[in-house]
Amino acid sequence: MIGVVIADDQALVRGGFRAMLQAQADIDVLGEAGDGEEAVDLARELRPDVVLMDVRMPKLDGLEATRRLLSDPVTKGARVLMLTTFDRNAYVYEALKAGASGFLLKDAPPERLVEAVRTIAAGEALLAPSIVRRLIEQYVQQPPLDGGTPSALAALSARELEVLTLVARGHSNLEIAGELYVSPATVKTHVASIFSKLGLRDRVQAVVVAYETGLIRPGQAA
């Protein structure tokens, strides 16, 4: 059973999300929060698998609430799915940096919301690589090129750097396997090692790191 907390300052929105999710046999809505502070407190109390987090809320916005949730030992295992009415929003990028696993537009169809919750709960990221790249190219402050491996990535092997580059370009494990002439299982092992060495939660954060370190540059060919 996937436990969910819904955080949104509009009661009608929360009610709609609850109705959609509660109708699923494998999803249980544990509680609702009307602001960011309440969301953090509720998550500490109820330990949900997924928190649906509105970007704009009173008292504490979704960005800061996400930072607090994912830096707290009690709630850092939760997955955060950002909800927004905007598809271009600097807050979304900052939330991804903070560890959110993706974002979803509020006008998405009901089946998309249900699919998103299941995807996030399974440990996957929910954000198209093209959207990640667009957000990063708008907001990231990148270091100058120095011709070498960025120091933040020094722990990675040459092969892991190749894999991270391909992940950042939006390739799936299967596509990376074909590109590097290795098995998908080998790619999966490399990806897990990259996440472990760099302290990442998912592929979204991997893409952010690749751009921020200069491993991938805006406009670079895929």
Q: Is 210 a residue whose pLDDT tops 90? A: no
DSSP E strands in the chain: the ranges are 2-7, 27-33, 50-54, 79-84, 102-105
What are the extents of the domains in the chain? Answer: 2-127, 143-212
* Pair 18, 64: CB distance under 8 Å: no
pLDDT digits (tens, 9 = 90+) for 179-189: 999 999 999 99
Identify the sign of the CA torsion 24, 29, 33, 39.
negative
The answer to whether 194 touches 160, Cβ cutoff 8 Å, is yes
CA distance 139 to 161: 23
pTM, rounded to two decimals: 0.71
Q: Is the CATH number 1.20.1250.20 carried by domain 2-127?
A: no
By CB atoms closer than 10 A (0-12, 13-18, 19+), residue 112 is middle
Higher pLDDT, 199 or 3: 3
> In the CATH hierarchy, which top-level class contains the domain 143-212?
mainly alpha
Report the alpha-carbon distance of residue 162 to residue 185 in Å, rounded: 16
Which pair of tokens denotes residue 113?
Answer: 């919301």
pLDDT cut 90: percent of the chain above it: 45
pLDDT tier at 89, thresholds 50, 70, 90: low
Is residue 81 a contact partner of residue 50, using CB atoms and an 8 Å limit?
A: yes
Give the residue among 202, 217, 21 at the shortest CA–CA distance from 127. Answer: 202
Question: What's the CA gap between 75 and 78, in Å, rounded?
Answer: 6
pLDDT digits (tens, 9 = 90+) for 9-65: 999 999 999 999 999 999 999 999 999 999 999 999 999 999 999 988 988 988 899
193-207, pLDDT tens digit by residue? 999 999 887 787 788
Q: Is the pLDDT assigned to residue 221 strictly greater than 50?
A: no
Sheet holding 50-54, edge to edge: 27-33, 2-7, 50-54, 79-84, 102-105
Q: Do domains 2-127 and 143-212 have the same CATH topology?
A: no
